[in-house]
């Protein structure tokens, strides 16, 4: 168990400390459950009432709320960011295990220093692993693929051939990187497969969620930019390009050859059709369907919100009548214009 003084924590998260710099804590907890040996945080004012009964050794909060808590305070303009930084200090560290005797490393593969290969890991021909790389149980790194320094690949991950993963990435269990894109040409009643000859390039500091798939490119590579964050069960099709710092929530699917700019956020269960371009700073809300390119930054939504079923059914019926209503309105406008003349 790691112990940190509040003085050290203030330095780590860039906060101003009001309290005893030598006071020691050993973990994080919510306002409602925190004990004196733990730190909590207030990022949402609807929980401010819990400060009156909070038993935390210290709370990360905005200076305007400091008067609400009688204990040690770590003052920060963005308490949630402070919590995020501090959470990394208390995260369990992976033990160095070296290379398990059941791991398989091809004779042509290259391993950096301090590499962890868990039981059943397979490193293919001419694959290259950087320093301090960790490969989890039963994960496979395909031929000619490269894994950057400090990258952590969890259990049961499949990295196909000709995939490049940057430094300090995290790939969670069940992810598949570099499977064939969905490409077929019609030949009468049959389908002819288009061989997917590209690869996948993933930048530094990328996180890929559990069960997420990133397909290889048909000719050029599929590209995932620096600092991109992908949630669980996200589908990235062939030749998609994701700009730096873009984040995509779970169960979203992006069709082939679509390009997203930098600093985009795509909420859960969205669909983005192929061959589109979304500019920097586009934010798409949950369960939206994007069918055209977006050239201006901002928030975009589609679909209808939840309502009582009977009312929703009436509105759904009216949606089907919109085209007919538009034609009738246009006709009425023409008739009014004629009367005015």
Enumerate the active-site residues: 238
Residue 184's DSSP bridge partners are 193
8 Å CB contact between 251 and 273: no
Cα distance between residue 107 and residue 120, in whole Å: 16
- Of 146, 103, 109, 147, the C-alpha closest to 125 is 109
334 sits in which H/E element? helix 309-340
C-alpha dihedral, 304 to 310 to 315 to 319, nearest 10°:
90
Residue 188's Cβ-count burial label (10 Å; 0-12, 13-18, 19+) is exposed
């Amino acid at each position: 168990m790691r112990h940190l003084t509040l003085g050290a924590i203030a330095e780590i998260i860039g906060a101003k400390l009001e309290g005893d710099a030598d006071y020691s804590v050993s973990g994080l907890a919510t306002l409602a459950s925190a004990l004196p040996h733990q730190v909590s945080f207030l990022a949402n004012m609807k929980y401010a009432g819990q400060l009156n009964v909070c038993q935390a050794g210290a709370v990360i909060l905005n200076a305007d709320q400091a008067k609400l808590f009688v204990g040690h305070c770590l003052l920060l303009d963005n308490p949630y960011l402070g919590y995020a930084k501090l959470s990394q200090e208390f995260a369990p560290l992976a033990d160095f295990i070296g290379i398990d005797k059941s791991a398989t490393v091809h004779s042509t593969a290259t391993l950096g220093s301090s590499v962890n290969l868990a039981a059943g890991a397979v490193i293919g021909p001419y694959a290259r692993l950087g320093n301090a790389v960790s490969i989890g149980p039963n994960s496979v790194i395909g031929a000619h693929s490269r894994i950057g320094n400090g990258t952590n690949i969890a259990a049961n991950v499949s990295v196909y051939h000709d995939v490049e993963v940057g430094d300090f990435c995290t790939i969670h269990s069940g992810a598949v990187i570099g499977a064939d894109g969905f490409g077929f040409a019609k030949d009468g009643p049959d389908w002819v497969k288009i061989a997917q000859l590209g690869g996948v390039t993933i930048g530094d500091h990328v996180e890929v969620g559990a069960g997420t798939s990133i397909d290889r490119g048909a000719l050029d590579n599929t590209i995932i930019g620096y600092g991109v964050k992908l949630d669980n069960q996200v589908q990235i099709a062939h030749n998609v390009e994701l700009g730096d710092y873009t984040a995509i929530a779970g169960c979203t699917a992006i069709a082939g050859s679509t390009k997203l700019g930098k600093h985009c956020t795509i909420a859960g269960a969205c669909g983005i059709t192929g061959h589109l371009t979304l500019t920097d700073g586009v934010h798409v809300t949950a369960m939206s369907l994007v069918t055209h390119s977006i050239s201006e930054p901002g928030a975009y939504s589609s679909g209808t919100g939840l309502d009582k079923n009977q009312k929703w059914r009436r509105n759904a019926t009216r949606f089907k009548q919109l085209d007919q209503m538009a034609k009738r309105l246009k006709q009425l406008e023409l008739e009014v214009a004629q009367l005015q003349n």
